[in-house]
Amino acid sequence: MTCDCHKLVEVPVAGARLTGELIIPSGARTLVIFSHGSGSSRLSSRNTYVAEVLHEHSIGTFLFDLLTPEEDAEYANRFDIPLLTDRLVAATDYLDTLPRASGLTFGYFGASTGAASALGAAARRPERVLAVVSRGGRPDLTGPGLSHVQAATLLIVGGLDAEVLALNRQAMDAMTCTKYLAVVPGATHLFEETGTLQQAADLAAAWFSRYLQPIPQTAS
């Protein structure tokens, strides 16, 4: 992968600054912002792997921590979906001010509880966020905002993750956007089984490649 942008970015939010890693491969026209799950971070090996697969498809990524270390030490914050959604919206708006990122189409990749904040933020930025992928996510935690999501949404769930699979099916019923539920056979919640995370990453890359097409510019 050749890269024309790889840097650490600090996102200013109320009372804090959140650190993230922005990687934009040469020729990329799209950017996927990651929203990690409870107890995880931007250094998550699973999310890093997914990001590397996206880079191979010329898709940029931004992995960042939605909470400061002090906030993360308070366990309840990890499940504060409104707070995490606010942080994701703030990061999206800030990236939109950066010259290298502002011209790209945006999508979200959410894992576990991060999927709820990704869908909630997508509902609040419908014209900016065109696609969402959830891996082993909890879209049901999005709440009423779920029905307002316009972004094309792919829900990826392990075939052995029975409880989460049932919750994803319920969430699908509440969504009116373009949507699809992909079940990875033999995978549990964390996709730790051989080859299952690769399947999830490939599904995500295909979805983003399809639905994060740059918006045509109309002649003025």
Instruction: Report the alpha-carbon distance of residue 132 to residue 204 in Å, rounded.
Output: 9
User: Looking at residue 69, what is its pLDDT?
Assistant: 84
Confidence bin at 220 (pLDDT 50/70/90): very low
For the chain, give the mean pLDDT.
91
SS3 for 141? Answer: helix
pLDDT at 218 over 50: no
pLDDT class for 219, splitting at 50, 70, 90?
Answer: very low
Burial class of residue 174, CB neighbours in 10 A (0-12, 13-18, 19+): middle
3-class SS of residue 190: coil
How do 152-158 and 129-135 pair as beta strands? parallel
pLDDT digits (tens, 9 = 90+) for 45-86: 889 999 999 999 999 999 998 888 888 888 888 889 999 999
Name the least confident of 45-49, 54-58, 173-177, 198-202: 45-49
Which pLDDT score, from 0 to 100, does residue 41 have? 64
Q: What is the pLDDT of residue 26?
A: 92
Tens digits of per-residue pLDDT, 94-128?
A: 999 999 998 899 999 999 889 999 999 999 999 99
Q: Residues 140, 112: contact at Cβ < 8 Å?
A: no
